[in-house]
Chains A and B, each alone.
Chain A
Amino acid sequence: MNEYAMEAENVTVQYVKGKRVKALDEFSLKLHKEQLIGLIGANGSGKTTFFKVCSGAIAATTGKISVLDEKVNFNLAMQEELAFCNPELPIKGNLPVRKVLELYAGMYPHFDVAFANKLLDLFGVSGKKRIQELSLGNRAITYFIFTLATRAKVTLLDEPFNGIDFEKRKLAYEVLLRDYIENPRTILISSHNLAELKPILSEMVLIHEGKVIFYEEMDTIREMLFRADGDKEQAEAFLNREEIITVNSGELGTYFIGRGSVNGEFAKEVKKAGMKISAVEPEDVCVYLTSKRKESELECLWK
């Protein structure tokens, strides 16, 4: 038995042959078992492609991928232990919610019918309604519920809470966390709302342009970068340092983002020079490590 739930080795996906653009580019990742893992990346970074390759919905152009030590393609035994929730890939047709539930129960041997029905009640989704009659948010919730109820050893959730209102989203995070505590398993969830999601995560993967930037525990991510605020003269003494990621200067002062923890050596040095040190939250860490945008570009818009 392997300690990883999923292993991807140099996986490349090219939707159009010959084109230079790769949805995944030599993508390598090994996911730890029984963790609740966030998959974070900007639009077009390759999140959905990765989910699709993992679940066998599409094949990798090159590279190897295995889930629970098994090759992904043409493997029914493994598919029973792998659930993928993606609002774009629903069950065809316009069946009533109750019928879709039956289909899921038929596909997944550990599907918990009673749990799924209780969740439909909790979120106020009627089993009699047809899938297409549901609002966007309720349809998303329904697929989330069914995916969770599969209790599959590897559960992939691709933006499961898009279009869901704040109250239900809060409830959904709680349900997801509680079910993970009661039935530990590997759950990979992508979201554009890391600020909301982060408390329930144990680990996080950041991807950018089809590559893995990092895969770390949440607390490690909070110690990756720090922010230093001060005046221009104070900041200038450090600007040649390679730990600095970005600098921003304005009338109100100058700040820079540096690599390292707020309690690290570099931060201490900066603090001694009189600058104010603060932590950088995971959602901002992701932006600073992947964004190429410069503040000056924004200013240009109104000039």
Chain B
Amino acid sequence: MRIDFSQVTPIYIQIADAIEDDILLGKLKEGEKCYSQVVLAKELNINPATAAKGIRLLVERGVLEKVRGQAMTVKVGAMKEIKERKVEEILGEIIERLVDEATKLGIGEDALVERVKEAVKRKSES
């Protein structure tokens, strides 16, 4: 896990996003324990309050839950939750930016769609 301190995204959001990536990659599994606040603070060299805030954000997002006084656990169904949110927020944002850039460059709708299709095709072939 790597936090980029020069990035404008607040550190706690970067932590939440990085934990979600670890869940998507299967490093953290549904129903199993998540990294603790202290481990995150120690290994990333960040204030524990910031680490706690990242964890809290994931509870709000419905990705983590506290099971009967135990450590934070990855919720069953977290993977689906993360994917849905990412499609909504992140993909939406990237597409908006893509359309912005394309408009600036004078690339029309058809040409843009064509390029996206090509990129998808290349990805599936590789």
Contact = CB atoms under 8 A, between A and B. Distances in A.
Given A199-B11, A219-B53, A278-B8, A181 B38 contact: yes
Main secondary structure of the interface of B (DSSP, over half): helix
A10 B116 CA distance: 63
A173 interface: yes
Interface stretch (B20-28, B44-52, B71-79): B44-52
B50 A218 contact: yes
Contacts of B8: 262, 278-279, 281
Contacts of B46: 177, 199-200
Contact of B42 (A178, A199, A218, A279): A178
B47 A219 contact: no
Contacts of A177: 41-42, 45-47
A174 B45 contact: yes
Nearest to B5: A199
Given A177-B41, A181-B38, A199-B5, A36 B10 contact: no
Contacts, number: 43
A219 B45 contact: no
A199 B45 contact: yes
Contacts of A249: none
Interface string A165-200: 000000001100110010000000000000000111
A135 interface: no
Interface string B52-87: 010000000000000000000000000000000000
Contacts of A178: 42
A200 B47 contact: yes
A54 B60 CA distance: 40
Nearest to A223: B10
Nearest to B52: A202
A232 interface: no
A217 B10 contact: no
Given A219-B53, A279-B8, A36 B45 contact: no
Interface in B103-119: none
Contacts of B53: 219
B125 to A, nearest CB: 36
Interface in A262-281: 262, 278-279, 281
A30 interface: no
B47 A199 contact: yes
A219 B42 contact: no
A42 B38 CA distance: 33
Contacts of A217: 49
B50 A202 contact: yes
Given A219-B12, A279-B8, A181 B42 contact: yes
20 contacts: A36-B47, A177-B41, A177-B42, A177-B45, A177-B47, A181-B38, A181-B42, A181-B48, A199-B3, A199-B11, A199-B50, A201-B47, A202-B47, A202-B50, A218-B47, A219-B50, A222-B10, A262-B8, A278-B8, A279-B8
Given A199-B11, A217-B49, A219-B12, 4 more contacts: A36-B47, A198-B5, A200-B47, A218-B50
